[in-house]
Amino acid sequence: MGLYLNPNAEAFKMGLNTDIYIDKSLVLSELNKLVFSQRNFLCISRPRRFGKSMVGNLISAYYSKGCDTREIFSQMKIGQVPEYDKYLNKFNVIKLDLNGWYQRSIQRKRKKFLLTDIHKALLDDFKEWFPSLDFSGDNTLDQCILKVYAKTNEKFVIIIDEYDVLIRERVSKELFEDYLSFLNGLFKDTTLRPAIALAYITGIIPIVRDKIQSKLNEFTEYTMLRPRQFAGMIGFTEEEVKELCEKYDMDYDECLRWYDGYKMSEAISVCNPLSIVTAVLDREFDSYWSATGSFEVLRDYILMDFEGIREDVIKMISGESVEVEVGTFQNTMDSFESKDDVFTYLIHLGYLCYNRKEKTCHIPNEEVRQEWIKSIRLSPNYKKVMEVVNASKRLLDDTINGNEAAVAKSLDTAHTEVTSPLTYNDEHCFQSAICLAYFYANTRYTLIKELPTGKGYADLVLIPFLPNIPALVIELKHNKSSESALKQIKEKNYCQALEGYYDNLLFVGVNYDEKTKEHSCQIERFVKE
C-alpha cells in the first residue's frame, strides 16, 4: 500500500464519518459502464467546494487494490446494483491531488521541480508495490505503468484531482511545458492506453482548448454546461436537500432560495454541498461558499470593458436572465474576447448558472447574489447601481408604509440615474427597471412577473417568504395614470391567486409619464368584502 499508488480508504472513511454524508456511490455504476470502453477517459469540471474531491476519494476506495471496502460498499446505494462488485478493489489506482502537490512545492520552494517530485514519489510506490520488477531511477509514471502492464497485464485507474491548477495559477513556461509532457506521456501514448481501465480527472474549468486539448482530446467532458449522466452525481440534489431539511427541521424553501439554482438538466438542479452542510449544522442561512473565495475574482471579470457587460450585470442583479453564447470561450484565463466569454467562465466558477434550453444565464441564488453585490460595491463603474441597491430597502419600506410620494421619487431616480440602459420602450423593459429598483425585495420576497390570476396577468407580484410582511400586487402603466393601474388590479381581480395573504395584501399602481419623465404611485390595502 502506497501513498499515491493503491492508497487505502482512510480519506473516504473520514468523509463517511462526518456529521452529514450524502451517499453518492451510484456514480460508480455509471463509471463501471465506461471501464475498458472508448469513453473511459473523463473530465468532470465543477465549481470549488462542490464535492469533487470527496467523489474522488469514493472512486479510489472502490477500485483500489490497496484496501478492502466490500463491507462498506455493500451497504451503500451501489450495493443494490446487480454486479456492483464487478470491479471492486480490482485495479491499481493512482490518485493525485495536483493542488496539494503544487501548494507543497511552493512551501518547499521546489515549484520548478513539481513534476520531478511527483514522478519520484510514484516511483518509490511502484518499487514497494511491485518488488519483483526492475524500475530505474529515472523512470517516469507512464514508463512505470507500461512496465507493470507488460509484465503482469494488470490495469490501472488514474484519478487526478484539480488537474487545472497549473493553468489557473499561470505558472512559468518551463513548468507548464513539463506538465504538458506529463499529460502527453499518460494519455496520448497508444501503447499505454490498454493499460488504463479508467482515467478520471477533475477541475474547476473544462479542458483548455488551445494548449491542453491536444494532450487530453481522448477525454469526454462533463461540465456545468453539459453534465450528461453525471448531472446529479456531484453537488446535492433538491431531493437530497429536502431530506436533510426534514431531518434537521430546516425550512426547505428558504434553503433552496439561498443555495439552489444550478440547473444541470431539465429534471435535476443541484446545490453547493459546503453551503448546505454548514447552514444545516449552524442552523442559520448565510453566505458560506462565497466566504471560501475572493470577491475580487468576480469583480475583475465583470469590470472588463466589453460592450453590453454592464447592462447585462444590471439585469442579472435585478433578477433577470440574459442571453449567452457559450461556444466561443477557450477555457483559458487570458483569452476573453467578449462578455459571452466572461459569463461562460463565471458559469464554470459557479457565479452564474446556465439554462441550456433557453441559452441564458442568471445569478443562481441569494448566497451568490450577495457576492455580486459585494463585488460591485466599491467599483466606480457600478457606483450608480449601488446607489439604487442601497436605496432599494428604503423604496420597499416606503411601499409597505404607503408613502406614495417617496415611492414615485425613488422610481424617478432609479430610471434617470441607473437604469437608462433599460429604456421604457416596451412593457418588458418597464418591468425590468422596476425589478431593479425593488432589488432589496429579493431578500424578503419571491418576485413573479406576469402572474396569471383573476381575469388576466398581474405585471408584478411579490410573495413574501418571511413572516409579518405584506404581499404586493404591482400594476404598471405608461402615459396613463396610477389610478387606472390600481383600478385594473381590482377590476381584473388580480388578488385571486393570493387568497392566503388577504389579511396582509397591498395593491400598488405605478404610472410613468413620458412627457414629464416622472412616475406616480398609488397604494391601497386590500379589504376583503
pLDDT in the model for residue 423: 61
pLDDT at position 401: 94
Reading the block at residue 63, the C-alpha cell is 477500485
Determine the distance from the C-alpha atom of residue 234 to the mean position of all C-alpha atoms in its chain, rounded to a whole number: 11
Per-residue pLDDT tens, the chain, 529 aa: give them.
578 999 999 999 999 999 999 999 999 999 999 999 999 999 999 998 899 999 999 999 999 999 999 999 999 999 999 999 999 999 999 999 999 999 999 999 999 999 999 999 999 999 999 999 999 888 999 999 999 999 999 999 999 999 999 888 878 889 988 888 898 889 988 899 999 999 999 999 888 766 666 668 889 999 999 999 999 999 999 999 999 999 999 999 889 999 998 999 889 999 999 999 999 999 999 888 766 555 667 777 887 878 888 888 878 887 789 999 998 888 777 778 899 999 999 999 999 999 999 999 999 998 998 888 888 776 777 776 676 667 888 999 999 999 999 999 989 887 776 555 456 666 677 887 788 788 778 778 888 889 999 899 999 999 998 888 999 999 999 899 999 999 999 999 999 989 899 999 999 999 999 889 899 999 999 987 6
Q: Are 462 and 445 in contact (CB under 8 A)?
A: yes
Q: Output phi, psi for 324, to 5 deg.
A: -145, 135
Task: Give DSSP secondary structure letters for 11-64.
Answer: HHHHHHTSS-----TTHHHHHHHHTTSTT-EEEEE--TTSSHHHHHHHHHHHHB
Q: Kindly list the structural domains of the chain, giving each domain's residue range(s) and its CATH number in brackets, ordered by start.
A: 10-230 (3.40.50), 236-290 (no CATH), 293-378 (no CATH), 391-525 (3.40.1350)
Sorted by sequence, the CB contacts under 8 Å of residue 399 that are 6+ apart come out as 407, 438, 472, 506, 508, 523
Pairing of strands 41-45, 196-203: parallel
DSSP letters, 440-503, are: GGGGTEEEEEEEEETTEEEEEEEEESSTT--EEEEEEEESS-HHHHHHHHHHTTGGGGGGGGTT
**CA-to-CA distance for 67 and 60, rounded, in angstroms?**
9
> Is there a contact between 196 and 227 (Cβ–Cβ < 8 Å)?
no
Dihedral pair phi/psi, residue 160, rounded to 5°: -120, 115
Q: Are 432 and 418 in contact (CB under 8 A)?
A: no
Residue 228, pLDDT score: 94
Q: Which of 371, 376, 374, 406 is nearest to 391 (CA)?
A: 406
Helices 366-377 & 383-400 angle (0-180, nearest 10) = 130
* Count of beta carbons in the 10 Å neighbourhood of residue 136: 9
DSSP three-state, residue 213: coil
Query: Are the CB atoms for 271 and 238 separated by under 8 Å?
Result: yes
Q: Give, for 192, the enclosing helix (H) or strand (E).
A: none
Q: Minimal CA–CA distance to 428: which of 389, 459, 392?
A: 459
344's CB contacts (< 8 A; 6+ apart) are: 225, 324, 325, 326, 328, 329
Contact 373, 366 (CB under 8 A): no
Which pTM value belongs to this model?
0.85
- Helix 238-248 vs helix 252-259: angle between axes, to the nearest 10 degrees? 130
